[in-house]
Amino acid sequence: MATAAVLSGVDATFEVTEVDVGEPGPGEVRVRIAGTGVCHTDQVVREGSYPYEFPAVLGHEGAGVVEAVGPGVTGIEEGDHVVLSFNSCGRCRPCLSGHPAYCDDFFFLNFGGRRHDGSTAFSRSGEPVGSHFFGQSSFASTTIASSRSVVKVRDDVDLAVLGPLGCGIQTGAGTVLNALDPEPGSSVAIFGAGAVGLAGLLAAVVAGATTIVAVDLHDERLALAGELGATHTVSARRDDVVAAVDDATGGGVQYAVDTTGVPAVVRQAFDCLAAQGRLALVAAAAPGTEVSLEVGASLVKGWQVQTVVEGDAVPQDFIPRLIDLWDAGLFPFDELVRTYPFDQIDRAFADSASGETIKPVLRFD
């Protein structure tokens, strides 16, 4: 039995209720959740932009303690402290080449809502409730997670705070450190100073970028970006963004990250690039979203654009690395976090949507 936030359909409020939890199957573990982040992808599914089967338990930034291990699981034991990340098959070419975020079976394993055999980890009154969202469905006090989603971490840190490393923070930081890999002394622009964008900003600081530009609509977020290491901030409401970035960088930025998925902003990010500049797109935009680009002028620029999922990270390697950077005072992602009791999940979503909270984390006490 677990306390879970069950979503009955598109745009519904979360019902905090009791659900039955099955035993971990082959390749699975049961985890007692300490805390779980609220991510934009949860909201995208809630609002119906991505198809999903309801009722279901969402949540994909969980952290907790392993309670039981299913058949065939190795390297994970009862009592281990873990962060839960995305799921992957481990057998396809992208997985075997160290890029599990591009797994051939990514969509089903993370958005299918059930196991391959059709079963779910949760039920209520004998009826199935969707599970295995990103391999974990962590909006529950106890959940069944795929072992491929499990990242063992140190046991001397607050687990609840670590949850966002499983998706949003990993996405922003990994996009900069893994996908773009800017050299020391380079220039980086971050479009959107939410959790993903600010994690990317922190990573740019770690990478040694010396010009870091944050672009956002909210003055409060721009002020925080400045505190976290941005050398320049640009208001998308008041400033000519392209001109401001050009002034800040002396002719265009070498690396840019768009976290908004808004076509007009993506076009601005392109126009801010210097010759041979690189742009990473990470936002989960609605299906069918398109961006226009003037090909003739762009051709002579040598620009590169890359779409990035989950920071192109191997979570079992990258998340412990981020924890070590945080522990050394070099990656203070916890400054983005505000915690809420689990039963305030609807408030946490509202505060995230309004911009009042950058990274809500739901805690189980």
Mean pLDDT of 224-233: 98
46 and 127 together in one domain: yes
pLDDT-based confidence at residue 49 (cuts at 50, 70, 90)? confident
Give yes or no for a contact between 119 and 108, defined as CB atoms under 8 angstroms apart: no
How do the residues of the chain divide into helix, strand and coil, expressed in percent and rounded to 5?
35, 25, 40
For the cut 90, the answer to whether the pLDDT of residue 37 exceeds it is: yes
149 and 220 together in one domain: no
Question: SS3 of 143, please?
Answer: strand
Q: Which residues pair with 31 in a beta bridge?
A: 66, 143
209 and 98 together in one domain: no
Q: How many domains does the chain have?
A: 2
150 and 178 together in one domain: no
Give yes or no for a contact between 84 and 165, defined as CB atoms under 8 angstroms apart: no
Residue 96 phi/psi, 5° resolution? -70, -20
| Residue 282 within a domain | yes
| CA gap 189, 176 in Å, rounded | 11
User: What CATH number did the domain enclosing 234 receive?
Assistant: 3.40.50.720
pLDDT at 112: 95
% of the chain residues with pLDDT over 90: 90
The burial of 337, by beta-carbon neighbours within 10 Å (0-12 exposed, 13-18 middle, 19 or more buried), is given as buried
Structure tokens given for 153: 């971490």
158 and 186 together in one domain: no
pLDDT at 362: 97
User: What CATH number did the domain enclosing 100 receive?
Assistant: 3.90.180.10
pLDDT at 8: 95
Residue 162 phi/psi, 5° resolution? -75, -15
242 and 349 together in one domain: no
- Per DSSP, which regions of the chain are E strands? 2-7, 15-21, 28-37, 56-57, 62-69, 81-84, 122-124, 127-129, 142-146, 150-152, 187-191, 211-216, 232-235, 253-258, 273-281, 304-307, 337-341, 359-363
Mean pLDDT of 162-191: 97
Structure tokens given for 238: 């008041």
128 and 245 together in one domain: no
| Residue 313 within a domain | no
Residue 197's closest CA among 132, 251, 257?
Answer: 257
Domain span holding position 150: 2-166+332-363
pLDDT digits (tens, 9 = 90+) for 247-265: 999 999 999 999 999 999 9
pLDDT digits (tens, 9 = 90+) for 278-330: 999 999 777 788 888 887 777 778 899 999 999 999 999 999 999 999 999 99
| CA gap 203, 333 in Å, rounded | 10
Q: Select from 262, 292, 308 the last residue of a domain.
A: 308
| Residue 342 within a domain | yes
Question: SS3 of 269, please?
Answer: helix
pLDDT digits (tens, 9 = 90+) for 9-28: 999 999 999 999 999 999 99
Give yes or no for a contact between 100 and 147, defined as CB atoms under 8 angstroms apart: no
| CA gap 215, 236 in Å, rounded | 6
| Residue 104 within a domain | yes
| Residue 315 within a domain | no
